[in-house]
Chain A
């Protein structure tokens, strides 16, 4: 670790907020993607924005790379530390500065937990809409960095669609503000909020965020339909879409994911090859009418069983199973990789068949959980890291799934971001020139490449798993290094 930086940090951080001992650093060496780990040189825990700005400016001055970190729930290794770099833990900037129910906005610090905004807005009949599965713990700063989504994104969008304004410190120490308290932002001028959200921590750190709140729907109707065939559940989604309904969420889980979720929360899910959750939300008379329509569709879709949540408790239980599904897979396998590909919704069936074939080819288990309304797949590839070569095999399978998504006209990430995990796959989606332009943009903002160095762009110098031979995407013929 850079001595001069440490000395300068000691000037403002007391010992309990400047962590340098092994015992303090080790717990920070991974986020929710444990396939990667790297011990940071130091961790600081600022308590206000002045400290953040000071710290970023120091890092810029001394060319020491830094990573901003919230609760460390990234599934793409987005908050993986940089060896000998600085990790800036933002959890103590957790104040909700303002709730303005009349204008439906909240102003928060970056370390505020997603769900805490909803809890603070609840007494006014409002809530914060983006609901990543980790919403009980993930922070809004991390949500901004990775444009987090969730199950309820179909109708109201992802994080980017709910941030109205922010104050940020750019990687070179410049402090700026964009957006406003209006839902129309500044009204004219490039949408800087839109650019900053999803920039994976490469542009800088959000210091203060103005988010949009939504009125709590008067009524939810949540239907759980069970199918003996995964394809049929996918077809049901197409039928719902074709009918002109716009549900708040449409989720599918396959047998293995159901098993894991069931073991975890006892949601009382039926024994099935596939489960479809469809949730309608809105004004009661309208939702009830839509629900009748939905019922007819589900009945006609070949579900062998369908259940309607009769109480808020039942609804919560259905969602708890779904939201805990990733982690619940920890019950089935010591290790897994979560993928986050997107395919056009109408090609979901094709994608699932192909994933099944890949499962057989690699003889690995894959549990499928997905936001079917968005075509956002989350295959969970199960492997046992203690076996030689198992991780490499799982990674190869993951690579093939991403290639498949790109080939079907989709994306390699819907909501988890590129981070560490998928940086080598970025060329599958963007041309060399497009990546060059993004890199030039990054350099214009961060000439020393200190902010979250090693993430998003292929190559990089952050710790990577040793990969030998051809990249899976090369093998799949999607990229080449000529």
Chain B
């Protein structure tokens, strides 16, 4: 599409390129969860691109467009669906960051944002804050869906931490060395995920480094437009995580895709090259293991019917589809079944549930309906956000079907 964007913002070229590439063909509409529910152009990727274009061209006031941009789940399902190669993610992240700077927020929102920035990225502070209760509610309005989803997992009492040794040695012949990105909220809410991931890796002959100084990747702050602070967190990881490993492993879909955006985040910074190198090293847990190949596990004593729930930030943002399935198919006595319309977002939770209760609940309901049709023993996913949403939706139906992270299932297969 032609456009008349004349912004001197640093990100303007990315936004302009994305808009330019869009030919308005509408292929993205089919992949978009909000469009599939609402059937209106403003709630489609094509419509949102058009709205952003009009805001950037100053034909439309940003606050008018905001509700539709806010309604975007950020699932990125439109990206692989786009034949023209529009980098919708680049456009959205840049646009949100740009608008964030100018956005006037009510005082409560502003306070909540401050809380987010000072608490979520730091597991210790987060644990402390969580104990004081009501944290979740205070934070939720300020958070993008994917992160707020984690908060809905917030139990009355946080689980005790499951510390990992600075170096978890490889079992048997050493096949690789990795560092595990601890992340932030997930580490506090569900420490068993990283614990299981590290031990699964070790069981597969991989030495796992867990440097105590490493932490949040910064994505959470990037998503709420706090760019400088996000960069600071990323820089901590550049220094804390060893560079001489085969890969830096993440178990959270959002971290992986957020780190992919470092190129954008560090654009024009002195350490842009360092950021690029770092992000090139980062791999999702399932992708790394699938590439290396799994050692034989004990598996299960009888057949388990299992389905894999694709996290949008793995499937659409990182193109990870066959890898986790390949891993699951190698586990003895595990029968993997496909979920209908697997690429459609589960609706996640958190603020999305509060801001867009109808959409979030309907997406969750549809997803759970597809899942329950399969008569499963277990659902696995590679992302805590999806796990939270599915658990919540199943709880509404009083259905006891367990939902776990793929790392937990793999570790169980070895530990059995």
Contacts and interface: CB of A to CB of B under 8 A. Distances in A.
Indicate whether A and B are direct neighbours in the complex (CB within 8 Å): yes
B26 A330 contact: no
Given A137-B30, A328-B84, A26 B25 contact: no
B21 interface: yes
Contacts of A34: 1-2, 23-24
Interface string B71-94: 000000000001111100000000
Contacts, number: 107
A200 to B, nearest CB: 18
Contacts of A326: 23, 25, 83
Contacts of B20: 334
Interface stretch (A89-97, A181-189, A293-301): A89-97
Given A137-B30, A330-B22, A324 B83 contact: yes
A45 interface: yes
Interface string B88-125: 00000000000000000000000000000000000000
Contact of A330 (B2, B60, B83): B83
A137 B39 contact: no
Interface string B1-20: 11000000000000000001
B321 to A, nearest CB: 12
Contacts of B40: 19, 24, 45, 89, 91
B27 A28 contact: no
Interface string A310-345: 000000000000001111111100111000000000
Given A24-B42, A34-B24, A264 B85 contact: yes
Given A24-B42, A27-B42, A27-B46, A336 B83 contact: no
A263 interface: yes
B64 interface: yes
A295 B122 CA distance: 65
A264 B24 contact: no
Nearest to A331: B85
Contacts of A30: 24
A113 interface: yes
Nearest to A45: B40
A465 B53 CA distance: 21
A154 interface: no
Given A72-B41, A334-B20, A134 B50 contact: no
A327 B25 contact: yes
A23 B51 contact: yes
Contacts of B27: 134, 136-137, 324, 327
A9 B44 CA distance: 25
A322 to B, nearest CB: 11
B157 interface: no
A361 interface: no
B88 to A, nearest CB: 13
Interface string B145-176: 00000000000000000000000000000000
Contact of A94 (B1, B24, B39): B39
Interface string A131-144: 00010111000000
A264 B1 contact: no
Contacts of B336: none
B30 A26 contact: no
A386 interface: yes
A26 B54 contact: yes
A111 interface: yes
Nearest to B20: A334
Contacts of A330: 21-23, 25, 83-86
B272 interface: no
A325 B83 CA distance: 7
Contact of B26 (A23, A115, A134, A324): A134
A142 B41 CA distance: 16
Contacts of B21: 330-331, 334
A71 B29 contact: yes
Interface in A245-279: 263-265
A325 B85 CA distance: 12
A137 B26 contact: yes
A89 B1 contact: no
B302 interface: no
Contact of A136 (B30, B39, B51, B59): B30
Contacts of A22: 60, 64
A385 interface: yes
A19 B24 CA distance: 21
Contacts of A329: 23, 84
A395 B60 CA distance: 30
Contact of A73 (B25, B59, B82, B86): B25
Interface string B28-45: 011000000001111010
B29 A327 contact: no
Nearest to B43: A27
* Most chain A CB inside 10 Å of its own CB: which residue of B20, B23, B39: B23
A115 to B, nearest CB: 8
A338 B2 CA distance: 16
Given A92-B39, A264-B84, A265-B83, A27 B50 contact: yes
A31 interface: yes
B68 interface: yes
Interface of B: 1-2, 20-27, 29-30, 39-42, 44, 46-47, 50-51, 54, 59-60, 64-65, 68, 82-86
20 contacts: A23-B68, A24-B42, A26-B51, A27-B42, A27-B47, A31-B24, A32-B23, A34-B1, A73-B26, A263-B85, A264-B83, A264-B85, A324-B27, A330-B21, A330-B22, A330-B23, A334-B1, A334-B2, A334-B20, A386-B2
Interface of A: 19, 21-24, 26-28, 30-32, 34, 45, 71-73, 89, 91-92, 94, 111, 113, 115, 134, 136-138, 263-265, 324-331, 334-336, 385-386
Closest 6 CB pairs of A and B: A330-B84, A324-B83, A91-B39, A327-B83, A27-B47, A385-B2
